[in-house]
Amino acid sequence: MTAREAIVEPVRKYYEAKLAQHGATPGGVDWNSDASQRLRFEQFERLFADQHDPRIVDYGCGYGAFVDYLRGRGRTWEYAGFDVSPAMIEAARERHAGDARARFVGDRSDLEAGDLVVASGIFNVRLAVSDAAWLDYMLDTIRDLASLGRRGFAFNALTSYSDRDKQRADLYYADPRVLFDFCKRMFSKRVAVLHDYPLYEFTMVVRTEDR
């Protein structure tokens, strides 16, 4: 087992337990409500500005809730969802069986690049992994997001500015300054940090089409 697999495997089991408990609902991917899940998706709108029929890659797609969001907004864009959990992929395929423009894969090698990449919630649950090891994993994953998005990518993370007494030991609270600097130096001059919505997190939007 590689170092990355050793990190991912417990997280996969954690989310599959949530899915078994709550089904294909926000609780099944460890969100506390439909409203908070939608609010997170709304932050990605900054990435979609001025885009015409882009191909979307959803990295860590869960049961495919982001497809519901896109279709609810009248966007019939081509969509590819990827998740390391076979149970999540099965749930996503069943839920969206009638959507010809949505496909789901559980093997990273089967995931083709798209125009825009989104990743919601994949950096939060670190369980017993150390801060240093999780940050390395996070940066490596962000590099993968960048490699998959021809025009840009966006992700969210819990913020290190969260109140200390409300932080959980099994979650990772990222420093937005560190990730802004990383994305700015590595990928694009066009980086935005959205930290003004009422959740203990932030969204990073990186647009790369004219870097």
Please state the domain extents for the chain: 3-207
Q: Is the pLDDT assigned to residue 211 strictly greater than 70?
A: no
Residue 81 is inside which H or E element, if any? strand 79-82
* CA-based R_g, the chain, Å: 16
- Output the pLDDT for position 3: 87
- pLDDT tens across 110-165, in order? 999 999 999 999 999 999 999 999 999 999 999 999 999 999 999 999 999 999 99
* CA-to-CA separations, 174 to 40, 125, 133, in angstroms, rounded: 16, 12, 13
pLDDT at 49: 86
Domain 3-207: give its CATH architecture. 3-Layer(aba) Sandwich (3.40)
Nearest one of 177, 181, 211 to 195, comparing CA atoms: 177
From the CB of residue 35, how many other CB atoms can be counted at a distance below 10 Å?
10
5 Cβ neighbours under 8 A, 6+ residues apart: none
Residue 125 to residue 7: CA distance in whole angstroms: 10
pLDDT tens readout for residues 86-111: 999 999 999 999 999 999 999 999 99
How does pLDDT run across 190-206, given as a tens digit for each residue? 999 999 999 999 999 99
For 22-67, write each residue's pLDDT tens digit: 999 999 999 889 999 999 999 999 999 889 999 999 999 999 999 9
- Length of the chain in residues, anyone? 211
What pTM value is reported for the model? 0.96
pLDDT for residue 210: 55
